[in-house]
Amino acid sequence: MSLHGSYDPNNLFAKILRGEIPCVKVMEDNVALAFMDIFPQSRGHTLVVPKNVTARNFLELPREKIGPYLERVQRVALAVEEALKPDGLVITQFNGAPAGQTVFHLHFHIIPRYEGEKLAGHGHSNKADTAALEALAAQIAAAL
Ligand code: AMP
């Protein structure tokens, strides 16, 4: 899917936001939902998804929603840092399939980096154990 097109209300993250598909939740308020990536590129890979929007990508996010949403992204990133003590953090997002986007509801990735540990490629990770993700989510949530 290119940068341009219409929002599909049945995309994976829309279903997660509606509770139709489970997720391992880190935090939720009226602006955003944060949950663990089930194919983590590193330990603690977390996604932050804006609520009540039909933005497929960052370019489509209404301007007045940018501040509140990015505030949540930073808040979750700070909690990931405090909980997991990584040596670095990649905070990124992809716009359009040619850029690497696979789910077409805007989301930011928070990907901890640990010195000496290789990063799994985007879209090339194994499915994580749910109990392990739940333990990480609880650690991060406790640091919020
Ligand atoms: P992107 O490729 O940037 O659109 O990111 C989509 C992300 O969603 C990838 O990092 C996937 O590993 C992740 N993902 C796919 N299915 C699920 C799921 N059911 N729950 C949580 N994360 C998922």
pLDDT, one tens digit per residue, over 106-136 is 999 999 999 999 888 887 888 999 999 999 9
Ligand 1 site, residue 94, Cβ cutoff 6 A:
yes
Cβ 13 vs Cβ 107: under 8 Å: yes
Asked: is 12-142 a CATH 3.40.50.300 domain? The reply is: no
- 23 touches ligand 1 (CB under 6 Å): yes
Is the whole-model pTM more than 0.85?
Answer: yes
CA–centroid distance, residue 123 to ligand 1 (Å): 8
Q: What is the mean pLDDT of residues 85-106?
A: 96
Choosing from 47, 122, 127, 136 the residue with most ligand 1 atoms within 8 A of its CB, the one to mutate for a pocket test is 47
3-state percent breakdown (helix, strand, coil) of the chain, nearest 5: 35, 15, 50
Residues identified as active-site: 107
Nearest CA to ligand 1 atom 21: 37
Sorted by where each begins, the domain ranges of the chain are 12-142
Q: CA 47 to CA 40: how far, in whole Å?
A: 10
List all residues 6 or more positions away from 1 whose beta carbon is below 8 Å from its beta carbon. Answer: 56, 96, 97, 101, 104
